[in-house]
Amino acid sequence: MQSPDRRSGKVGRPPRLSRDAILTAAQRILDEEGAERLSMRRLAKELSSTPMALYHHVQDKDELLMLLLEAHARSFPRPRFPEQPRERLFAGAQVLHDILADCPWVVEVLASDKFVSLSAMWIVENMIDALIACGLSPDDAVYAYRVIWYYTVGELTVRFNRERTRDAKAPPYRQRVMSSVTESDFPRLAVIGPRWVELTSVDHHRRGLEAVIDGLLAQNV
């Protein structure tokens, strides 16, 4: 008689699903393919299972994303912030940027304005408190925080998309367009055009963040 470990075909039951296994597989899809490609059907295929089997461990895709966001937020240590409110605000905004820059799929998920991570609320608390300490009312502090948030997410979204679609074999379409502008129609852009890609690809996040924060605080003077 042939021993079980030498039989052809599948032997025994497939490994049992667990929440940890589901989260690990979902994280792999997010890292390699992005948030748009993650679905319960895609995840089930990755695990050689069925969507219905996954629902015994996670309620839906939203809960899955929330669990992954929480895990990502908990992995970052809390830094020691400066005492001076304006510097504390800038430091908090920079930490926010650095956490998001480390994980493109998080930006995709949070940009929907649908999710929020409780484990990351210490960043928001620090920034709101710093804004109020700078003289803003609570309402204006929330407004200012949201402006910084929009700037951060927008800057990272453009950067990630540019890196994802970059083709080294051909010049970017925007470069071809900017190189074709004429001085008669666009006198300023005709001079700058040949260097447009170079100038717009420089990482000026910190410089822009300084300008955004200074502008917001100046409104309260």
| pLDDT tens-digit readout, 17-58 | 888 899 999 989 988 888 888 889 999 999 888 889 888 888
Instruction: Quote the DSSP letter at residue 172.
Output: -
pTM, 2 dp = 0.79
CA distance linking residue 65 with residue 115, whole number of Å: 9
- In the prediction, which pLDDT does 144 show? 97
Domains in the chain, please, with CATH? 19-74 (1.10.10.60), 85-219 (1.10.357.10)
> What tens digit of pLDDT does each residue of 106-132 get?
888 888 877 888 888 999 999 999 999
DSSP secondary structure letter of residue 39: -
Distances (CA, A) of 201 to 2, 101, 108, 172, 196: 64, 16, 21, 12, 8
Most confident of 53-57, 94-98, 161-165, 217-221: 94-98
Specify burial of residue 27 (Cβ count, 10 A radius: 0-12, 13-18, 19+).
Answer: middle
